[in-house]
Structure 1
Amino acid sequence: MYDLHRLRLLRELKHRGTLAAVATALSYAPSSVSQQLSQLESEVGVPLLEPVGRRVRLTEQAEILVAHTEAVLERLERAEADIAASLTDLTGTLRVASFQTAALTLVPAALGLLRERHPRLRVHVTQREPERALPALSARDFDLVLAEEYPGDPNARPAGLEQEDLLDDPLRLALPRPSDGPDTVGPTAVLRSLAKHPWVMEPDGTAARHWAMTLCRNAGFEPDVRFESTDVLLHLRLVEQGHAAAVLPDLVWGGRLPSVPVRQLPRGQRSRRVFTVVRRGGSRHPAVLACRDALRRAVVLGADRV
């Protein structure tokens, strides 16, 4: 029988890409990881890694082993959930990753609800954008991820992960000054009126940036992006002081009235989908169920404050 610990190291290598990354993530020496994988090769009787420049990649047989390892780990995760469900008190640690606006608004409210109902559950929260958080979820660095998806720009859905919708978060054009035209001017015309104005957007490579650039290009102009940041509160501050235009989600207001003039976006572009993601097999864990329930109730509490 193959050694499960060594199989997990092989799986980690697939998800993390390098022996050094595996060693760092698991607090091992790189030489120890290499030695364990060499022993696994001896157990299996075929090469599992092949050199590609200074890196290595998995052979076809290694990919087969990783697929079976995923199935074993999923079953073990279900066993862990069943054991936790058999207990009367919810304990342990739940590791959550969240993008910024959800971390600012939904997560604190959910934490308060969890503290009331499950005081012995320890929740560890990391702010991380979905582009990085979802691969980390697959690698078992987190137990639950709060993620976002922009209209017309669906995320890749990695195998082994399960999604559950949380809310549709409206997106609005935030104006650095009151609109010159009447409120009856259409959304596309208002968008075009900012063609020569500086913009603030998230950095290249993010889903938010790709969507915002496409939004402007569909309106007929290339935006002058002078400010780049993943900090949406910085976006808001730049708009408030008249330095930039932006597209801001309603979550940024935290139930308060907008502090800058806002206008609707063109049809089909007016909200992003916010959802939670867990590994398949972990969705029945009582801590995950409790967190998802608390987040749903946080959404309702936020809506009641509006």
Structure 2
Amino acid sequence: MFELRRLRLLHELALRGTLSAVAEALSYSPSTISQQLAQLEREAGVPLLAPDGRRVRLTEHGAALAAHAARALDADEEIRGELDELQPGIAPVRIAVLQTAARTIVPAALSLLAERAPTLRVELAEVPPEEGLFELSARGFDLAIAEQYPGLTRAHRPDLVRHVLGADPMRLATRGPGGSLRDVADRPWVMEPAGTAAREWAVQQCRSAGFEPDVRYELADLGAHVSLIAAGHAVGLLPDLLWTGVTPPVTLTTLPGEPAREIFTASRRASAGRIGIRLAREAIADAFAA
């Protein structure tokens, strides 16, 4: 019988591609990862890894065992979920959150959980949705709050299940009188870093309006976006969720077609029914609705 811990290492290698990436994700040394995978290979009796330049790749046998590892890890989560229902106490829930959710949805959700499940330990990390969804699939998190933009649907991972929270309108943010995108075509822009869905969508809005934006400021912190725009140094596209409980210090203009990003939670299909994850997901949904 294969040890589940070693199977997870093989599963992680299939996901992340390199031994160093697996070691960093799981806080092991690369040599420890190599030793454990070598032991798994001896137990399997067939070669699981093959040299590939300075890296290693999964052999046909390795890929087959990695697929089995994913199923075994899912089964382990399902069993743990059933045990959660039968025994007192609730296992901790680790949640990956995007920045605007950390500012607005999460504090209200934690207040609800303090009333509904005071013994539930919730651990949070603010990470980009791209990273959060990957790490959720890799079991680094139990739940993720993510977003997707009109025309930029995120890939649906078969091991994850989504629950839509709702729509979050996107608007043009300027200092002083508002206008159309064309009216600010010659202004400096502040946008999120290249490679993010938010950046790709914002650039496409500008191109659809007939110009290439001068992205002079590239910042992940939306609070910094607001500061630059309010000071008159830039213009940008910002979500309404950012203004929960505060008065916007900038002028907001509705865009043609009233585009909105979709906010959703995601969890692994194998653990979605676990009591702690279910309670956290419900609290997040209620907080967003409020």
Which bin holds the TM-score, normalised by the shorter protein? Answer: over 0.9
Q: Distance in 2 between matches of 1:264 and 1:255?
A: 20
Residues 42-73 of structure 1: CA deviation (Å, up to 9, x unaligned): 22222211222211111222111111111111
Any conservation in 2 of the 1:15–1:138 contact (CA below 8 Å)?
no
Secondary structure of the 2:226 match is helix
Any conservation in 2 of the 1:81–1:282 contact (CA below 8 Å)?
yes
Instruction: Give the equivalent residue in structure 1 for 2:217.
Output: 227
Q: Distance in 2 between matches of 1:222 and 1:32?
A: 49
Secondary structure of the 1:244 match is coil
Amino acid across the alignment from 1:83: L
1:270 to 259, 262, 274: 259
Instruction: Give the equivalent residue in structure 2 for 1:143.
Output: 142
Secondary structure of the 1:158 match is coil
Q: How does 1:277-288 map to 2 (within 5 A)?
A: 277-288=266-277
Secondary structure of the 2:271 match is coil
Residues 136-192 of structure 1: CA deviation (Å, up to 9, x unaligned): 11111100000000010111122311111011111111122213x6xxxxxxxx111
Report deviation, 1:106. 0.1
1:294 to 280, 283, 290: 283
Residues 228-285 of structure 1: CA deviation (Å, up to 9, x unaligned): 1110111111111111111110111013343211111121x61000000111111101
Any conservation in 1 of the 2:7–2:69 contact (CA below 8 Å)?
yes
Q: Distance in 2 between matches of 1:133 and 1:300?
A: 22
Instruction: Give the equivalent residue in structure 2 for 1:197.
Output: 187
Instruction: Give the equivalent residue in structure 1 for 2:44.
Output: 44
Report deviation, 1:90. 4.3
The RMSD of aligned alpha carbons is 1.5
The alignment status of 1:207 with 2:200, answered yes or no, reads: no
The alignment status of 1:261 with 2:260, answered yes or no, reads: no
Q: TM-score if structure 2 supplies the norm length?
A: 0.95
Amino acid across the alignment from 1:276: T
Report deviation, 1:118. 1.2
Structure 2: 5+ residue stretches without partners:
none
1:257/1:29 CA distance change after superposition, 3 Å? closer
Any conservation in 2 of the 1:199–1:225 contact (CA below 8 Å)?
yes
1:300/1:3 CA distance change after superposition, 3 Å? closer
The alignment status of 1:170 with 2:160, answered yes or no, reads: no
Structure 1: 5+ residue stretches without partners:
182-189, 302-306
Amino acid across the alignment from 2:103: L
Q: Distance in 2 between matches of 1:124 and 1:74?
A: 21
Amino acid across the alignment from 1:59: T
Moved runs in structure 1, 4+ residues, more than 4 A? none
Any conservation in 1 of the 2:84–2:91 contact (CA below 8 Å)?
no
Secondary structure of the 1:96 match is strand
Amino acid across the alignment from 1:157: H
Q: How does 1:51-200 map to 2 (within 5 A)?
A: 51-87=51-87, 89-179=88-178, 190-200=180-190
Q: Distance in 1 between matches of 2:286 and 2:32?
A: 46
